[in-house]
Copies of this chain bind each other. A is one copy, B any other.
Amino acid sequence: MAEPFTLHEDPRSGNCYKIKLTAALLGLPLATRQYDIMQGETRTPEFLATVNANGRIPVLQIGEGSGVRFLPESNAACWYLAEGSPLIPDDRFDRADMLRWMFFEQYNHEPNVATLRFWLRFVGEGNLSDQQRGQIMAKRVAGADALRVMDEHLAARDWLVGEAATLADIALYAYTHKAEEAGFGLGDYPAIGRWLARVAGLPRFVTMDLHSRPG
């Protein structure tokens, strides 16, 4: 029954890490094929025609050969892998509330925290365009606001939704635990700090940097 899964990824990307962490927590085998986004390897005609017309990774490949299917968008790929598992809550409200945090992640958190990390850690501040440099301050403010919302929410609870880890925690862990690389001081967010340790303590957890080994 189990179809082979292949992740088209760049290991530096937190969006790719989400999917690897989901697979690891569920004990699902996941092959990887790596691309260097700095070299435009996800914008080649072949990639655009077969893997993702949007020219982005991660993409989860499900199956092989004539029945192969491709699923872009990190949080959708996590959902596919986790269906039927405890990482998606049974309760109807909690399930929607989990998606709420995953949309928050893509709208309020990733475009600020992940983009600043990419610019500052990988592109380098000196190589940014004037237009990018002009957005740094706004992204710092918006990213800090997203972290504040998370920290306040986590002050009185262990997990973002319900009483156990869900995909919401995985989705937001990915770039939050690298937020210092984006210039955010995690010491300002004590509830986030405790929650990060909780996620990293989950059975079968893998780290982002050594993702093929137990963390």
**Which residues of A does B touch, CB under 8 Å?**
53-54, 62, 69, 71-77, 79-80, 83, 92-93, 95-97, 99-100, 102-104, 106-108, 110-111, 131, 134-135, 138, 149, 152-153
Contact = CB atoms under 8 A, between A and B. Distances in A.
Nearest to A77: B96
Contact of A103 (B73, B83, B135): B73
A71 B53 contact: no
Given A103-B103, A138-B131, A93 B80 contact: yes
A100 B73 contact: yes
Contacts of A108: 54
Nearest to A72: B100
A95 B78 CA distance: 12
A162 B86 CA distance: 27
Given A76-B103, A131-B134, A71 B96 contact: yes
A52 B7 CA distance: 35
A153 B53 contact: yes
Chain A residues touching B, majority SS: helix
Given A62-B93, A102-B103, A107-B110, 7 more contacts: A69-B93, A71-B100, A72-B100, A72-B104, A73-B103, A75-B99, A77-B96
Contacts of A79: 95-96, 99
28 contacts: A53-B152, A53-B153, A54-B108, A54-B149, A69-B93, A73-B99, A73-B100, A73-B104, A75-B99, A75-B103, A76-B96, A76-B100, A76-B102, A76-B103, A77-B96, A79-B99, A80-B92, A80-B96, A83-B92, A83-B95, A83-B96, A103-B106, A106-B106, A107-B110, A131-B134, A131-B135, A134-B134, A135-B135
Contact of A93 (B54, B71, B92, B107): B71
Contacts of A152: 53
Contacts of A95: 79, 83
A79 B95 CA distance: 9
Contacts of A73: 99-100, 103-104, 107
